[in-house]
Structure 1
């Protein structure tokens, strides 16, 4: 094994409390020591999806200050919630003092105290997917073909905005919300548009024609939106597009496969997992783009060869201060995954075991 691989150990310590709290009732935590990451960011929440129908969604926390990785903190903080976090978690965001978790299979948005992970409440949204925030509202995509608008004070849905079929990820630029419509239930006649919503009126303004089966959508600092297409899993491969939000039109097609994307400052990081019928195996790639001039950097963003340890990349995040790169490995989708950390130069720093199918992140500053 690589000599940087961190030997995992399970420590049963009643004196170690999540996020340096001193509370009773949180005992027998499963924790793992990993290298400290001392920056102004104090920690990282990792959301594990769990296989659909297995009710194994879970929440982990990596404490930067002491280098401790804590698994399954939701159930430890909320022992009275009998079904735990739920089935198939799909997104996580911090807004104000609260942590919002979208649990797709359980048809709900969980709202937690960001410091303690204790449950504050929940809002029911059928087949919910992703969440974004604007002023006093949370916006949640629902596969029924709308965006649910949640009042963050009342924790209740106050209206719905009709969009395209099976909407996925969203991004906000100015007072406009961009929504990737997938049509994921309609193979082979997928949806192919991005909805544009006026956040001042909560109405759909238009739809931008892009490509089939859209999924991830991220905004950069120059007023552009990057959106991935999953293709049709046959003769149309996945791809990456750029939308100019000043004109609300597609300005560039990169002609690269793209499963997920994360943007940090002037760079976009993309990984791709594409099934090859020729080799009967997955073809995995890691790409970096200079978004200032919209050019592909001709090298893998993992530079030390340790990407070979990753079986199925499934989640991607960049520390906004240190630019450390986090990639998760879903492995076989039924056993615990792995979180990998690379420095901004693509050198591996550590790896640690997570829950099942780790895929989503939220950076936290105390």
Structure 2
């Protein structure tokens, strides 16, 4: 009898383990959101940041050929990863056959197979932020210190990663709390925020020579820099978040060769993307004096360097989107994607509009949907 009881106990434990394993691995949810579309882009990944400290960074995928949206695909594809993607997804880029996911508070870059989202390797990097690529190398910005407001927060850096060995090869010191970065010719530019050193923000775009991997120029722009994008004409578009009190957010046009600010557009820009010579942006500017947010949208013609529209989508959806948090534009169809983080705690949404800003579809995403990466065939 004792042997039978012991046998039943073992069977029960195994069943509990099996049930627990199934419970711990979230299953991918799918939803058909639109008819099939066929072009040279297979689909896009959407990285959901997840609220800091919640360990809820997730990865979604939309398939153009089936019109199906897949939510939270990473855990099921990578069941051996105990904590899944981690804490706060900050950037996602595809380069070659690999996809790179920056997980900020977890201090790592996850390298995945771009077609399958299967993890290849984890690259540790403290307080990593954003990525750009050139000639088989990845370049990542890093705050080089813990996530904490500190007037003595350390100066930041950019590291160079070989995309074959997936190892860090070189690093260079730049400004304080460096954010987005771009490459023009053989120069790398990174926007420094100094956000941890409030109220002593940084106001510099650092120029790094890729041959020597040394900082060669400091371009003074505005305080608390964040977004940075380059156009086809050698210029940089750099956003400033201001100080959230009396200094407003704005977008600046910079000539990196002369180091001069060519123009202040006077518009708040939280995020932007340049596609087919048009810069699409939205602003969701917060002010501590009023404790309120101000939403704005617009399009800039980067060839003429002029704002050509102060709207992207119909007003009905400007009102419906509570907290715009991500933007992307399909370079083939020019369909526009905007995410809504809502209250930063509940499930967010992704909206799709055609190139004229007319609504096409909407679906649930994850917690704080934010960053897009298009997958080509």
| Offset, 1:248 | 2.9
Q: Take 1:27 and 1:333, find their aligned partners in 2: how far apart are those partners?
A: 21
| Offset, 1:199 | 1.3
Aligned to 2:140: 140
TM-score, normalisation: structure 2: 0.88
Secondary structure (helix, strand or coil) at the match of 2:195 reads: coil
Aligned to 1:33: 32
Counterpart mapping for 1:185-334 below 5 A: 185-276=196-287, 280-303=291-314, 305-334=316-345
Q: Take 2:163 and 2:27, find their aligned partners in 1: how far apart are those partners?
A: 33
| Offset, 1:40 | 1.5
Q: Take 1:234 and 1:277, find their aligned partners in 2: how far apart are those partners?
A: 6
* RMSD of Structure 2 on Structure 1 (CA): 1.5
Aligned to 2:81: 81
| Offset, 1:188 | 0.6
| Offset, 1:249 | 2.0
Counterpart mapping for 1:27-66 below 5 A: 28-35=27-34, 36-66=36-66
Q: Is the 8 A contact 1:48 1:58 kept in 2?
A: yes
| Partner residue of 1:339 out of 350, 362, 367 | 350
Q: Take 2:31 and 2:46, find their aligned partners in 1: how far apart are those partners?
A: 14
Secondary structure (helix, strand or coil) at the match of 2:74 reads: helix
**Residues 196-215 of structure 1: CA deviation (Å, up to 9, x unaligned):** 11112211111100000000
Given the alignment of the two structures, is residue 90 of structure 1 paired with residue 90 of structure 2, yes or no? yes
Q: Take 2:342 and 2:26, find their aligned partners in 1: how far apart are those partners?
A: 29
Q: Is the 8 A contact 1:227 1:242 kept in 2?
A: yes
Q: Take 2:102 and 2:173, find their aligned partners in 1: how far apart are those partners?
A: 19
Against the structure 1 CA distance between its residues 136 and 40, is the aligned structure 2 distance closer, same or farther, given a 3 Å change threshold?
A: closer
Q: Take 1:344 and 1:350, find their aligned partners in 2: how far apart are those partners?
A: 13
Q: Take 1:246 and 1:89, find their aligned partners in 2: how far apart are those partners?
A: 33
Q: Take 2:81 and 2:75, find their aligned partners in 1: how far apart are those partners?
A: 7
Aligned to 1:127: 127
Secondary structure (helix, strand or coil) at the match of 1:293 reads: coil
Q: Take 1:333 and 1:279, find their aligned partners in 2: how far apart are those partners?
A: 20
Against the structure 1 CA distance between its residues 206 and 276, is the aligned structure 2 distance closer, same or farther, given a 3 Å change threshold?
A: closer
More deviation, 172-181/270-279? 270-279
| Offset, 1:38 | 2.5
Aligned to 1:6: none
State the structure with more CA Rg.
2
Given the alignment of the two structures, is residue 351 of structure 1 paired with residue 350 of structure 2, yes or no? no
Paired residues in the alignment total 341
* Structure number having the greater helix percentage: 2
TM-score, normalisation: structure 1: 0.90
Q: Is the 8 A contact 2:131 2:180 kept in 1?
A: yes
Counterpart mapping for 1:4-15 below 5 A: none
Q: Is the 8 A contact 1:303 1:345 kept in 2?
A: no
More deviation, 202-211/240-249? 240-249
More deviation, 35-44/269-278? 269-278
| Offset, 1:124 | 0.4
Against the structure 1 CA distance between its residues 279 and 204, is the aligned structure 2 distance closer, same or farther, given a 3 Å change threshold?
A: closer
Q: Take 2:162 and 2:278, find their aligned partners in 1: how far apart are those partners?
A: 34
More deviation, 145-154/56-65? 145-154
Given the alignment of the two structures, is residue 117 of structure 1 paired with residue 117 of structure 2, yes or no? yes
Q: Take 2:309 and 2:100, find their aligned partners in 1: how far apart are those partners?
A: 37
Against the structure 1 CA distance between its residues 252 and 27, is the aligned structure 2 distance closer, same or farther, given a 3 Å change threshold?
A: closer
Q: Is the 8 A contact 2:193 2:225 kept in 1?
A: yes
Q: Is the 8 A contact 1:221 1:265 kept in 2?
A: no
